[in-house]
Amino acid sequence: MIDRRAFVATSIAGVALPATAKLSATSRPASGGASGAYDPRLTIERTLLRRNVTEVARLAGGRPILAVVKNNAYGLGLDAVGPVLDAAPEVWGLAVVTTEEALALRAAGVRKPILLMALTDDAAAFELALADVRLAAFADDAPERLAVLAARLGRAVRVHAYFDTGMGRLGVPFRRAADWMARLAAQRGVAIEGAFMAFVEDDAVDPVQCDRFRALAEGARARGISLGRLHAASSHGLFFRTPALLDMVRPGLVLYGAYPAGARERGVAALTPAWRLTARVVRVTRLEPGDGVSYGYRFVAERPTWIATLPVGHADGYPRSAVRGCEVLIGDRVYPVIGAVSASHTIVSLGDEATAAVGDTAVLVGPDHPAIHPNTVAERAGVSVYDVLMHLSARLPRSLA
């Protein structure tokens, strides 16, 4: 007898598949171009995205959400994700980090406020203001430049003042912020709609940052300056900085259904990964003892072993280090990744029987089984959960189900 357990040591066989695993037949393409049946793809689940928004609003105590959709909606696709978030009543607006993404959201039909959390040149600022994109003000000369922009535009420019309370990345350094704020507030045609900062996500530093931010807002109020809505908390803050949720929360990761490090274990939120990375099996074959697979031959069969090849790899965004213990769901079973993940291929062991066939759909990351949850994939591959989303290739065909 062949001891299958010794071989597929890390697989969990025979686990029932939740209802969410049924791939929707009503998916429609969310990005252009034809794709073949065997191409790897991403499916974005509208209802799961919506469910996460509701859950995030609950965590935020009902505060409005400024949904961060930077970096192509964390890899999931701006065109698919933007309109779904735009339609959610809990969402106040959307935030991005490039001019191109801000305008792409408008082109995709997003009507709510869009905040660009980046430096812009004057020409881009004009285009953005025309599209009613809110600008982040933080450059030393931002007050005067914004006033010029408003004059050119013939109407008020809405801005969010960005403060550096200790992150050391972007924003007006808090020590020099008081006079800058007064200058900004004094400009004609500049409407301060909000003010924000980013936490470094350190238990000792964050409270200090929060105090600095509150002091700035207090100082502004004392001088008769309104900073509008204050926002600071990202996904991490929703779990770990609840006294600092302020007027609005600004998460990204959690909306897509993944947890910041250490948050999943707390059991205080029920988020669901809102996408699937799938590929179809393109080859099933049997290795004889001594046969190996993939670059470096790090896997060599000790007994006759069935393997399946999936046409998806690290160039698509599946972690190169997935071989360190990740599993893939095919049908109702998970199978271990063996051999090095190459640019466009991943090989899994089926064990001593050919339990999968060419054409079967494999889910590499998704909501359907604990082993393929993005946080599990990240932990097993030894990468940040942000990488499991943000490294998804922009070339993957996407559909919205």
Ligand X SMILES: *Cc1c(COP(=O)(O)O)cnc(C)c1O
CA–CA distance, 361 with 329 (Å, rounded to integer): 8
Nearer to ligand X, 80 or 233 (CB): 233
CB of 9 to ligand X, least distance (A): 34
Nearer to ligand X, 252 or 336 (CB): 252
CA–CA distance, 82 with 45 (Å, rounded to integer): 13
Nearer to ligand X, 66 or 192 (CB): 66
Contact (CB, 8 A) for 192 and 184: yes
Mark whether 295 is an active-site residue.
yes
CA–CA distance, 277 with 362 (Å, rounded to integer): 8
CA–CA distance, 174 with 177 (Å, rounded to integer): 5
- Of these residues, 70, 162, 256, 335, which one is catalytic? 70
Nearer to ligand X, 234 or 294 (CB): 234
Question: Mind giving me the DSSP string for 259-319?
Answer: --TTTGGG--------EEEEEE--EEEEEPTT-EESGGG-EE-SS-EEEEEES--TTTT--
Mark whether 256 is an active-site residue.
no
Among the listed residues 182, 187, 192, the one whose alpha carbon sits nearest the alpha carbon of residue 223? 182
Q: Which residue is nearest to ligand X (CB)?
A: 252
* 193: its two tokens: 């709609």
Nearer to ligand X, 250 or 380 (CB): 250
**Could you tell me whether strands 327-330 and 172-173 are parallel, antiparallel, or unpaired per DSSP bridges?**
unpaired
Alpha helices, DSSP H, located in 335-395: 374-381, 385-390
CA–CA distance, 142 with 136 (Å, rounded to integer): 9
Q: Residue 191 belongs to what H/E stretch? A: strand 190-196
* 88: its two tokens: 């959610």
List of residues contacting ligand X (CB under 6 A): 68, 70, 117, 198, 234-236, 250-253
CA–CA distance, 10 with 5 (Å, rounded to integer): 8
Q: CB count, 10 Å around CB of 178?
A: 17
Contact (CB, 8 A) for 163 and 170: no
CA–CA distance, 289 with 2 (Å, rounded to integer): 12
Nearer to ligand X, 77 or 251 (CB): 251
- Of these residues, 38, 162, 295, 335, which one is catalytic? 295
Nearer to ligand X, 54 or 292 (CB): 54
CA dist 70 to 74, 76, 117, 170, Å?
6, 10, 9, 16
Contact (CB, 8 A) for 260 and 235: yes
Q: Which residues are catalytic?
A: 70, 295
